[in-house]
């Protein structure tokens, strides 16, 4: 199970319909340019192997992806990944907006992971 709290409740906007609008194929290509893969999707979030960052689909602007770095990701690594992502996105007519950081903590004695965004 996975819970995340962005400090605001998201209104469901037509469920299935919005999923089809999300450019998962292009987002996957953008991520793969960094040499990493998407491990899974949860709602509007894409999780990346080793969790250096999370990408969030922007339902207000389908050609934008919001980028959140792991607080544990080293600055130098983050800057390199950010440049690769923005470059890969612009080649496809997309933008990547650096939007803050997140922390991942496994809850004690459970399988659940808590994600906290520091926007």
Q: Which of 19-28, 36-45, 70-79, 100-109 has the lowest mean pLDDT?
A: 19-28
Write down the pLDDT at residue 91.
98
Please tell me the pTM assigned to this model.
0.80
Write down the pLDDT at residue 97.
98
Write down the pLDDT at residue 2.
57
Write down the pLDDT at residue 8.
44
Q: Give pLDDT tens digits for 1-60.
A: 455 555 444 555 555 555 557 899 999 999 999 999 999 898 899 999 999 999 999 989
- Residue 70, strand partner residues: 102
Kindly tell me the number of DSSP H helices and DSSP E strands found in the chain: 3, 7
Write down the pLDDT at residue 111.
85
The DSSP element (H or E) to which 42 belongs, if any, is: strand 38-42
């Amino acid at each position: 199970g996975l819970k995340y709290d962005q400090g605001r409740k998201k209104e469901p906007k037509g469920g299935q319909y919005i999923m089809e609008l999300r450019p998962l194929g292009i987002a996957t290509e953008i991520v793969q340019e960094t040499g990493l893969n998407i491990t899974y999707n949860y709602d509007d979030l894409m999780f990346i192997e080793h969790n250096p960052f999370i990408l969030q689909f922007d339902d207000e602007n389908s050609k934008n992806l919001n980028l959140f770095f792991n607080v544990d990701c080293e600055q130098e690594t983050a800057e390199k990944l950010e440049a690769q992502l923005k470059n890969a996105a612009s080649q496809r007519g997309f933008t990547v907006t650096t939007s803050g950081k997140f922390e991942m903590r496994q809850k004690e004695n459970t399988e659940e992971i808590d994600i906290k965004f520091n926007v």
